[in-house]
C-alpha cells in the first residue's frame, strides 16, 4: 500500500506507471499484505508469473502449497488491482474447501502434463481411461475427481456407459 503510493509519485517524473490503479476493495485487501516465501514462489513463471489467475493456475498454486482453493483465491485475487488477470470465478462452497493434489493437476490438463491447455468443453471418454493409467486411480475415481472441478473449468464429462473401472 504505502510503497505503491510512494512509487506512483514518481510517475510524474518519468518513472514507469504502476501495472494497475491500486484502488477499491482489492487495494484495501493488499494494504497490509506482506509477501512470504510462498507468495514469491506463487508468482514464479510456471504459476502466476505470466499474469493470469485462471482455473488451472488456481489448481496449480493450491496443489503446490497444500492450500484450499478458497485460500488461494482469497490471497491472490486482490492482485487484480495491480494487473493480475483474474479469469476464474471465486470457488463456490462445494469447491472452496478442496485441496488438490498432483493427480488433480494431471487429470485437469488435456495432455496430462499439469500444464496448459486445461480441460474444456466436452471431455473425451478416452481422457478418463488415460488419466486412470497415469494416476493409478480407477476410471470411476478419475470421474469423481473431475466432477469436483467441472463447473470451475466449464467442461462436461462423458456419460458413464463406456466406463472401464
Mean pLDDT of 38-52: 93
Q: Which of 72, 96, 120 is the last residue of a domain?
A: 96
Asked whether the predicted pLDDT for residue 19 surpasses 70, the reply is no
Asked whether the predicted pLDDT for residue 165 surpasses 60, the reply is no
Asked if the peptide bond before residue 49 counts as cis, ω within 30 degrees of 0, the response is: no
pLDDT in tens, 103-116: 999 999 999 999 99
pTM of the model as a whole: 0.86
Indicate the burial class of 3 (C-beta count within 10 angstroms; 0-12, 13-18, 19 or more): exposed
- Residues 43 and 90 occupy one common structural domain: yes
Mean pLDDT of 1-7: 64
Q: What are the DSSP E strand ranges found in the chain?
A: 52-53, 85-86, 121-122, 155-156
- Residues 6 and 64 occupy one common structural domain: yes
pLDDT in tens, 108-142: 999 999 999 999 999 999 999 999 999 999 999 99
- Residues 85 and 8 occupy one common structural domain: yes
Reported confidence tier of residue 3, pLDDT bands at 50, 70, 90: low
**Residue 71: per-residue pLDDT:** 98
Assess contact for 101 and 66: CB atoms under 8 A: no
- Residues 86 and 113 occupy one common structural domain: no
Segments forming the whole domain that contains residue 121:
102-162
Amino acid at each position: 500500500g504505502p510503497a505503491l503510493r510512494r512509487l506512483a509519485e514518481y510517475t510524474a517524473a518519468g518513472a514507469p506507471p504502476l501495472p494497475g490503479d491500486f484502488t477499491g476493495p482489492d487495494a484495501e485487501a493488499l494494504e497490509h499484505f506482506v509477501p512470504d516465501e510462498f507468495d514469491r514462489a506463487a508468482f514464479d513463471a510456471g504459476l502466476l508469473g505470466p499474469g493470469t489467475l485462471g482455473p488451472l493456475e488456481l489448481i496449480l498454486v493450491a496443489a503446490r502449497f497444500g492450500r484450499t482453493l478458497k485460500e488461494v483465491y482469497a490471497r491472490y485475487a486482490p492482485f487484480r488491482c495491480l494487473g493480475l488477470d483474474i479469469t476464474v470465478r471465486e470457488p463456490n462452497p462445494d469447491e472452496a474447501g478442496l485441496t488438490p493434489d498432483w493427480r488433480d493437476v494431471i487429470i485437469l490438463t488435456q495432455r496430462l502434463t499439469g500444464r496448459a491447455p486445461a480441460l474444456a468443453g466436452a471431455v473425451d471418454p478416452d481422457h478418463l481411461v488415460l488419466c486412470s493409467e497415469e494416476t493409478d486411480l480407477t476410471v470411476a475415481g478419475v470421474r469423481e475427481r473431475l466432477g469436483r472441478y467441472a463447473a470451475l473449468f466449464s467442461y462436461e464429462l462423458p456419460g458413464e456407459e463406456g466406463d472401464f473401472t
